[in-house]
Structure 1
Amino acid sequence: MPGSSGHSVAKAWPLAAGALLLALLWLGPLPIRAEGSFAAHMVMHMGVVALAAPLLAVGLARLLPASVARLTPSVAIVASFAEFAAVWAWHAPALHDAARVEPAIFVLEQASFLTVGLLVWTSAIGAADSRRPAARAAGIGALLVTSMHMTLLGGLLLFAPRPLYACAALCSPAATLTPLGDQQLGGAIMLAVGGSAYLAGGLVLLASILRDPASAAGGSE
């Protein structure tokens, strides 16, 4: 039926948009640029976790609402710690340098970013549709904790007095930037995109709870 087909397309467009964005990030010029530019590498990272992952999560929540809404609070909590571990581990100098020069390690890095980002956003969006206060609180906490640690890491990269990675000397950074300037630009991108996206997600989820009469009534009891 035409109406049903249109409704399905309306539900599925975030999933398609997220998949298209991943294709542009991974199959476009960025992977080659990222070999010699920390900032380009960060654009890919933020594109995966702060843009593609929430789009995919919204698409999954629309297509499988009952399944996503059943995610327990512990999933959001574990997901936030998993993303913290993945993001900080992959920005440790040894692992980051390896991902910049070894294709297999780069693929593993990007796959882990997508996995943990999708877990955080899906559990948080599932919490938004849940009537369980604990689930909603966990979803808000997962997004805000992720925003805080990305802000902290972005600030560290932005204000570090020297390049933190050997790849800054081994690779060829963007022609107009020094290795330190390239790293600082990457830190600014993490602050502006990563910290802001997760903070905005947490605040939107909090606002949806405050607007929900059932939640307000439950919280006042």
Structure 2
Amino acid sequence: MDQASAFSFDMSYCGPPVLPAALWSRWNFDPTLLVALLVIAGLGFILTRQAGPHRRLAFATAWLAAAALYVSPLCALTVSLFSARVGHHVVLTMFVAPLLAISIPRQWARRASLLPALALSTAALWLWHSPNLYTGAFLAPAIYWAMQLSLLGTFTLLWLALIHADAPFHAGLAALLSAVQMGMLGALLVFAGDPLYLPHFATTQAFGLSPQDDQHLGGLIMWVPANLPLLALMLWRLGNVLGPDREAAS
């Protein structure tokens, strides 16, 4: 625990660990973030102004969810709890990313290939949840944003390929493989005998959790609820194969 006590959060993008009593005072009004969100909102409005209502709604919902992830006190909570950061990543990759994929024009989606998208998203998920790289995201804002943007980018690419792939069976299989690998990572965290993530060794007790309990909770979130959107898409795409229009779908 000496190493944990000496860990510095001076360069943590979301600030120092937060205590429960101060959580709702820890909104993030970073001017650079707010300007970036406004610019993204403007670009999204321009790109979707002639799109159908479902695409405009998907972009607006994705933008609101992303703003909540980084502006709300959840940003600070992810410094204290590994489970909160896992939940943050789940919302980013399983909610914001598919909504962005829906908002993107279909002709752009033709560039998304299933196998590279699956490989890149899997690599990003496992690498950023390896203890050393995970810890690095607390040591410099640039590493934090590399984590966030690479997870969002690779999973948006994956969802683009899953939703728009011409071969529904292959898309369903890719969704299943993505769910399996995410579940495997979650299971490893649930059954790990020791806490793995140094930044949280001394920050979870205020929330009534040991570092290992917090890690187990994070693994459980990744193992079960995080997989539900992928499994739903798998059933939808396989339904394209097994349904009455299977010949056209194949």
Question: TM-score range with shorter-chain normalisation?
Answer: 0.7 to 0.9
Offset, 1:218: 7.5
In 2: Cα distance, 1:208 partner to 1:165 partner: 42
Aligned to 1:159: 191
In 2: Cα distance, 1:45 partner to 1:184 partner: 16
Aligned to 1:80: 118
List runs of 5+ in structure 1 lacking aligned partners.
none
1:58-137 paired onto structure 2 within 5 Å:
58-60=102-104, 64-68=105-109, 70-71=110-111, 75-127=113-165, 130=166, 133=167, 136-137=168-169
Q: Match of 1:177, SS?
A: coil
Is the Cα contact below 8 Å between 1:39 and 1:189 reproduced in 2? yes
The answer to whether the aligner puts 1:36 opposite 2:77 as a matched pair is no
Q: Deviations over 1:73-96 (max 9, x none)?
A: xx1110101111111111111001
The answer to whether the aligner puts 1:45 opposite 2:89 as a matched pair is yes
The answer to whether the aligner puts 1:216 opposite 2:220 as a matched pair is no
Normalised by the length of structure 1, the TM-score is 0.83
In 1: Cα distance, 2:225 partner to 2:87 partner: 9
77-86 or 138-147: bigger deviation: 138-147
- Once superposed, what is the RMSD of the aligned Cα atoms? 2.1
Is the Cα contact below 8 Å between 1:77 and 1:138 reproduced in 2? no
Offset, 1:126: 0.9
Is the Cα contact below 8 Å between 2:241 and 2:249 reproduced in 1? no
In 2: Cα distance, 1:14 partner to 1:218 partner: 25
Is the Cα contact below 8 Å between 2:178 and 2:230 reproduced in 1? yes
Task: Give the 3 Å change call, closer, same or farther, for CA 10–148 of structure 1 in structure 2.
Answer: closer
Q: Percent identity?
A: 31
Q: Match of 1:104, SS?
A: helix
Q: Deviations over 1:22-71 (max 9, x none)?
A: 111122112211111101111110000011111111122xxx23442x34
Offset, 1:193: 2.3
Is the Cα contact below 8 Å between 1:120 and 1:142 reproduced in 2? no
Q: Match of 1:87, SS?
A: helix
Q: Match of 2:63, SS?
A: helix
Offset, 1:15: 1.4
Aligned to 1:55: 99
In 1: Cα distance, 2:159 partner to 2:223 partner: 18
Normalised by the length of structure 2, the TM-score is 0.74
Q: Which has the higher helix share?
A: 1
In 2: Cα distance, 1:93 partner to 1:106 partner: 14
In 2: Cα distance, 1:51 partner to 1:184 partner: 22
Aligned to 2:215: 183
Offset, 1:118: 0.0
**2:121 partner amino acid:** E
Task: Give the 3 Å change call, closer, same or farther, for CA 102–9 of structure 1 in structure 2.
Answer: same
In 2: Cα distance, 1:46 partner to 1:89 partner: 15
Offset, 1:6: 10
Is the Cα contact below 8 Å between 1:79 and 1:120 reproduced in 2? yes
In 2: Cα distance, 1:212 partner to 1:16 partner: 34
**2:219 partner amino acid:** G
Aligned to 2:11: none
Offset, 1:100: 3.2
